[in-house]
Structure 1
Amino acid sequence: MNVLSKLTDNNILLADGATGTYLQARGLEPGGDPELMNITDGNIVKQMARDYFKAGSDLVQTNSFGGNFYVQSRYDQGAKVDEINFLAAQLAKSEAVNINSKVKERYVFGSVGPTGELIEPVGTTSAKDVYAAFKQQVLALEKGGVDGIVIETMISLEEAKIAISAVKENTQLPVAALTTFDKGPRGFFTMMGDTPEKCYEELFLSDADIVGANCGNGIDIMIELGQRFRECGDGHVWINCNAGIPQIQQGQIIYPETPEYMLDGFSKLIDMGVNIVGGCCGTTPDHIRQIANL
């Protein structure tokens, strides 16, 4: 059964937790290229998928968040985009295949993050070039065997819509689009000034199959965001929460929200009808293990 059919049958899917947090604990240096580890340290990336599946994830994301040409070019790895994304998909998918059973099917979604470019006329990069970068990435992820694409941590609604088009016009994969919000005195807005309601409407109109929010906030704020998205309509909603706002303690980045602290919040997200829940920055297999027991 594919992911969309699973959701249509009113199943709740549990996604994975953080990628960067996991890899940094296993040798990724500060400022390093996480996606290059698909080539240099594939066993660690594969183990990450295995650990999240064993913790209870129904769905894991590939190690490809910064796998587009623009981000990889900043690491002088632009020529390796196809290889990086193909391996990202294969490494995670191999673990899904190994652990699948008649009782529970596991899925892999290709992670697609922002290019970091400002699109004309605000910036100097054309929408056509951004589209081409996303197309290259999603084709490599599809070739590697992903079950869907998740476009995430988007602060530009325009860029998110370009990424959706790149998926829909070049693959047969379902696509989720997750935006990132800050909460200020006037409420929730992306960095580009868009509200949850506008994102919900325009992303679905752009042919996203699932919409939602990730990153930037701990569980308490994400409960509010989840409610805002859920009140917009009955479309599939995906919420991934940080383990709180990072703090610096003795020179180390610490995320303060423990698995136990986040558990009640995830229960509330599920009760309000969010279809996919998972973790973002700072969350670990221990967080996922707690949620899986709900």
Structure 2
Amino acid sequence: MTIVTSEKSPAMPNPLEALLAEKQYLLADGATGTTLFAMGLESGEAPELWNETHPDRIRKLHDDFIEAGADIILTNSFGGTRHRLKLHHAQDRVHELNKRAAQIARSAADAANRKVIVAGSVGPTGELLEPLGAMTYDEAVDAFAEQIEGLKAGGADVAWIETMSAPQEIRAAAEAATRVGLPYTFTASFDTAGRTMMGLAPGDIHGVAEGLDALPAGIGANCGVGASDILASLLDMSAANSSATLIVKGNCGIPQFHGTQIRYSGTPELMADYVRLAMDGGARIIGGCCGTSGEHLAAMRAALDSHVRADRPTVDDIVARIGPLRNKQAKDSGASAGETGGRRERRRPRT
């Protein structure tokens, strides 16, 4: 697969690239779903509906992450396509719900005492594209464009395509963002024997946007399982193209059941060390996914600000400092331990 370098930039204005050029490294926010559950979101309830019913809680979500040091906040719109919203009988409200999500995040960002990027969260549709499913590529583009139009109308700076599995679905979302006129990033979850559930390997992610009219402002990985695995995937991505703007947004340790509640094992100290290793491994945008609270993010901010990039780690370095990989195939997949990608189990939707 041909590698796409970062030399060709999207044609539309890109506040994300401008802030990245200014600061070199950016901190993305933490967990949306985990935080909303702590605020009272019920299992099976659509977080996107809270943009209208509980806008004060969504605003607090963003305010808390900004206070903790986030340079990038993600809108509460992960399941904002017509296909996801149909599960909650809200498929005819795509534009208004996504617009409202972006407006809330925009108001929080504009109230900050520094530049904060509003990233319009775009998750998978939940449908399979042809030939595995019934959805055509053009239908996927249309669905994503409908969502991204709402995000743009609400003030999003960039379309943040995340937790993806199928390369064609990533391309469809990227094409939709370009059609709407927003720069975009995308991240995949490498959670099935070192690949996404649909077979994409970390080192091949650079070729996903090949041939599109606008190239991504950043690419990378999010969700999956713990920090060790996403850092191992980062090594594969940076080994394949060291000039790419790479993103990692890893889960806060490993999910563990405590009675009926799920808690994540990662401590603020562990997530701070994850940030240092991510910088050393080639990431430019670093954040947290499931389980990452404001307390974790504050420790990550301190690490990002104080760390001077050091030698590229190996997988063995990562395991020694962060903990074991969750997939035994990780060390057996690459040319060496230092160029081995992460191997993950199947993940839940981004929380």
- Aligned-CA RMSD value: 1.4
Matches for 1:156-195 after TM superposition, within 5 Å: 156-171=166-181, 173-182=182-191, 184=193, 188-195=194-201
Q: TM-score, normalised by structure 1?
A: 0.94
Q: Which residue of structure 1 lines up, in the alignment, with residue 143 of structure 2?
A: 133
SS of the residue 1:192 aligns to: coil
Structure 2 counterpart of 1:214: 222
- Given residue 235 of structure 2, which amino acid in structure 1 is its aligned partner? Q
Deviation at 1:205, TM superposition (A): 4.9
* 1:219/1:266 contact within 8 Å kept: no
Provide TM-score, normalisation by structure 2: 0.79
AA aligned to 1:220 is S
Letter in 2 for 1:174: P
Distance 2:274 2:116 in 1: 24
Asked if the contact 1:203/1:211 (under 8 Å) is kept, the reply is no
Q: In the alignment, which residue of structure 1 is the partner of 2:209?
A: 203
Partner of 1:290: 299
- Out of 281, 284, 303, the residue aligned to residue 272 of structure 1 is 281
Residues 219, 244 of structure 1: 8 Å contact kept: yes
**Structure 1's 67 and 183: CA in aligned 2 closer, same or farther, altered over 3 A?**
closer
How far 1:183 moved relative to its partner? Answer: 5.6
Partner of 2:122: 112
Does residue 1:79 correspond to 2:92, yes or no?
yes
- 1:247: which partner in 2? 256
CA contact (8 A) 1:16 1:59 kept: yes
Residue 98 of structure 1 and its aligned partner are, at CA, apart by 0.6
CA positional deviation for 1:31: 1.1
For the 8 Å contact 2:170–2:208, the answer to whether it is kept is no
- Name structure 2 gaps, 5 residues minimum: 1-13, 304-351
Structure 1 Cα separation of the partners of residues 210 and 58 of structure 2: 32
| Structure 2 Cα separation of the partners of residues 262 and 278 of structure 1 | 9
1:8-29 deviations in whole A, cap 9, x for unaligned? 4561000000000010001100
Determine the C-alpha separation between the residues in 2 that align with 1:266 and 1:191. 26
Aligned 8 A contact 2:256 2:265 in 1: yes
Cα offset for 1:259? Answer: 1.4
Could you tell me which runs of 5 or more consecutive residues in structure 1 were left unpaired when the two chains were aligned: none
| Alignment equivalent of 2:159, drawn from 128, 149, 154 | 149
Rounded to whole Å, the distance in 2 between the matches of 1:253 and 1:9 is: 38
AA of the residue aligned to 1:195: A
Deviation at 1:176, TM superposition (A): 0.4
C-alpha deviation, 1:134, in angstroms: 0.3
Q: Deviation per CA, 1:101-132, whole angstroms, max 9, x where unpaired?
A: xxx31111000000000111111112222111
Residues in 2 aligned to 1:228 and 1:203: alpha-carbon distance in whole angstroms: 18
Deviation of 1:7 (Å): 2.3
Preserved CA contact (<8 Å) 1:204 1:211: no
> Distance in 2 between the 1:25 and 1:163 partners?
30
Residue 14 (structure 1) aligned to one of 5, 14, 27: 27
Counterpart residue number, 2:268: 259
Q: Is the contact made by 1:131 and 1:163 (CA closer than 8 Å) also made in structure 2? A: yes
SS where residue 277 of structure 1 aligns? strand
Q: Which moved more, 1:260-269 or 1:46-55?
A: 260-269
Q: Is the 8 A contact 2:78 2:123 kept in 1?
A: yes
CA contact (8 A) 1:204 1:210 kept: no
Is the CA contact 2:83–2:125 (under 8 Å) kept in the aligned structure 1? Answer: yes
Structure 1 residue 204 displacement after superposition: 5.4
Identical-residue share of aligned pairs (%): 37
Tell me the CA shift for residue 44 of structure 1.
Answer: 0.3
CA contact (8 A) 2:81 2:147 kept: yes
Aligned residue pairs total: 287
The Cα of 1:283 is off from its aligned counterpart by 0.7
